[in-house]
Chains A and B, each alone.
Chain A
Amino acid sequence: MTNSVCVLGAGSTKYGKLNEDIIEIALNAAKGAIDSAGITPKQIQSGYISNVFGVADKQVHMAPVLMSNLGIPEVPGLTIESACGSGSVMFREAYANVKAGFYDCILALGVEKVTHTGTAQSTTLFSYCSDFFYEGGNGASFPGLFASIARAYMTKYKATEEDLAHVAVKNHENGILNPKAHIRKRITVDDVLNSPVVASPLKVFDCCPFSDGASAVILCSEEFAKKSGKPYVKVIGSGRGASPAAVQGREDIATIPSTVAAAKQAYDMAGVKPKDIDFAEVHDCFTIAEIIDVEDLGFFKKGTGAQGAREGETRRDGRIPINPSGGLKSKGHPIGATGIGQVVEVFEQFTGGAGDRTVKDAQIALTHNFGATGASAAVHIFQKV
């Protein structure tokens, strides 16, 4: 395995409630990535698609449909599902295939459309991502599962609901600067604390929204990227991890083993340490998740993640900026697209496309995305070229 793998071109739809059908949403992101890379569809050798609930929009087996509508029906593709981590897991597989030399140029695209199903059905659909026999089938929604994780964390480390609220406030501050974010609204700690309880101790403003949207990148060999003459970003680390599927199976509920394992692999491959990361896009489906993420990724000692948001260390101008895009919390969470959306943010940050939310002087960035309550996870590390 000798290829250096690069991200050449990125595109994304707005995240939120979209009216187009799922294929049109996906095609809009694909076109953005293809145009940004300065390539033609004929240069794409494979299409990697991540999606979870296509069946809710009457479309599975999406890759051939997308390739056909991109005018390349002869190009093979596949669809990968790994719950909310589908995008990053798919990115990893696309990365591995370029790295191994099977392909020089891949379209990696994540897409989701769920808002048309309504909150009740969306909540039910998401619960199918849990270990359903033990969790969803016993009445736990996804907010409920993360609420149980939050209670375990708060009990162990004496963290407070106010600590969690600071994460939401910070990510909404960032999301205001992202024109493609789902919820562009400034909120206060009191807004979070006074919002209706969804599953105690989590409240509405502790939770990310259900979103529609698509994100796409062109993944290619460095040789291919150099020939394009377009700006690109290098992928220097990639890791995968797994945890017991059910929360009950974890010895320590206040950590997510898949994150720890994936991060170690990615750091080792990249030859960097947490202190070398200039910003990170992490999986903040709920406020508690970001607090646990920043500890499991090595940015904070266990039990001190809450202080990151509370003391401003994770703001854009802080010691380790977290989720400059607004994160899942504000940018939104179209679950099949989320992991690729994080890569789009890194690409925009490193190629001058992030506008007012640009993290100053950043050279190395990390993306972290997991499925369900962290049963599956992927971490990637990128370098500015």
Chain B
Amino acid sequence: MQDQPPTNTHTRFIESALNGKILTNKCKNCGKIMLETVYYCPACSKTDFELLEFNGIGNVVTHTIQAVAPEGFEDVDSYAWVVFQVDDAPIRASGFLPGVRLPSELPIGSKVKVTGYDKKHGLSLQKVPEH
């Protein structure tokens, strides 16, 4: 992917998520990879980054199922908020996974994927069926 001039970083992250991807910055100085919303490399403080997209697929690290939903999420029948380790990347991301009612439906380590970015509910996830 080509370098792009800085714009609204969240917009770029969201556009990537809409395509099922997680957008990161790779530091050209030290190689550290971080989510694209970070402005300075946490390792070397440089700002010269290469944009790097990863498939928005990964394994569940932890989650909760929100029995009491915050405002804006009352319209969702039941959902999990999930932290997942992105495949092939040294980063984690988090998102909203509708349709989960019980912890047993989403064991730690389950595979999830990014399905888009909902204006109301943020980064949307779906469980990937086991084969």
**Distance of A144 Cα from B66 Cα, bound (Å):** 6
- Set A127, A197, A253: member contacting B61, Cβ < 8 A: A253
| Across-interface contacts of B93 in A (CB, < 8 A) | 134, 248
Docked-complex contact B83 and A124, CB < 8 angstroms: no
A residues in contact (CB < 8 Å) with B: 120-121, 123-124, 127, 133-141, 143-145, 147-149, 151-152, 155, 196-202, 246-249, 253
Secondary structure class of chain A's binding surface, majority of residues: helix
| Across-interface contacts of B65 in A (CB, < 8 A) | 199-200
| Across-interface contacts of A247 in B (CB, < 8 A) | 62, 83, 94
Known interface pairs A138-B95, A151-B63; A248-B68 also in contact (CB < 8 Å): no
| Across-interface contacts of A134 in B (CB, < 8 A) | 93-94, 123
Q: Does B67 have its Cβ within 8 Å of any Cβ on chain A?
A: yes
Docked-complex contact A148 and B63, CB < 8 angstroms: yes
Docked-complex contact A148 and B83, CB < 8 angstroms: yes
Docked-complex contact B61 and A140, CB < 8 angstroms: no
- Set A139, A202, A246: member contacting B122, Cβ < 8 A: A139
**Distance of A378 Cα from B67 Cα, bound (Å):** 31
Binary per-residue interface labels of chain B (64-107) against chain A in the complex, 1 for a CB within 8 Å, 0 otherwise: 11111111110010010101000000001111100000010000
3 closest Cβ contacts across the A-B interface?
A: A147-B64, A138-B122, A152-B62
| Across-interface contacts of B28 in A (CB, < 8 A) | none
Task: Name the residue on A nearest B108 (C-beta).
Answer: A155
Known interface pairs A123-B71, A139-B81; A151-B94 also in contact (CB < 8 Å): no
Task: Name the residue on A nearest B90 (C-beta).
Answer: A251
Known interface pairs A248-B93, A253-B83; A141-B66 also in contact (CB < 8 Å): yes
Ordered by A's residue number, 22 sampled pairs between the chains whose C-beta atoms are within 8 Å are A123-B70, A124-B71, A138-B123, A139-B81, A139-B122, A140-B64, A141-B70, A144-B64, A144-B81, A145-B64, A148-B62, A148-B63, A148-B81, A148-B83, A151-B108, A152-B62, A198-B68, A199-B65, A200-B64, A201-B64, A202-B64, A248-B94
Task: Name the residue on A nearest B85 (C-beta).
Answer: A248
**Distance of A199 Cα from B67 Cα, bound (Å):** 5
Q: Does B121 have its Cβ within 8 Å of any Cβ on chain A?
A: yes
Q: Which of B61, B63, B70, B92 has the largest count of A CB atoms less than 10 A from its CB?
A: B70
Q: Does B19 have its Cβ within 8 Å of any Cβ on chain A?
A: no
User: Which positions 27-82 of chain B face chain A at CB distance < 8 Å?
Assistant: 37, 61-73, 76, 79, 81
Q: Which of B37, B67, B71 has the largest count of A CB atoms less than 10 A from its CB?
A: B67
| Across-interface contacts of A137 in B (CB, < 8 A) | 122
Docked-complex contact B67 and A201, CB < 8 angstroms: no
Docked-complex contact B83 and A139, CB < 8 angstroms: no
**Distance of A202 Cα from B65 Cα, bound (Å):** 10
- Set B64, B66, B95: member contacting A151, Cβ < 8 A: B64
| Across-interface contacts of B68 in A (CB, < 8 A) | 123, 141, 143, 198-199
A131 → chain B, closest Cβ, in Å? 9
Docked-complex contact A199 and B64, CB < 8 angstroms: yes
A132 → chain B, closest Cβ, in Å? 9
> 13 additional contacts, CB 8 Å, given A141-B68, A151-B108?
A123-B70, A134-B93, A136-B70, A138-B123, A139-B66, A139-B69, A139-B70, A139-B72, A139-B96, A139-B121, A141-B70, A199-B64, A200-B65
**Distance of A249 Cα from B94 Cα, bound (Å):** 10
Known interface pairs A140-B66, A141-B66, A200-B65; A135-B37 also in contact (CB < 8 Å): no
| Across-interface contacts of B67 in A (CB, < 8 A) | 196-200
| Across-interface contacts of A147 in B (CB, < 8 A) | 64
| Across-interface contacts of B123 in A (CB, < 8 A) | 134, 138
A250 → chain B, closest Cβ, in Å? 9
| Across-interface contacts of B37 in A (CB, < 8 A) | 133
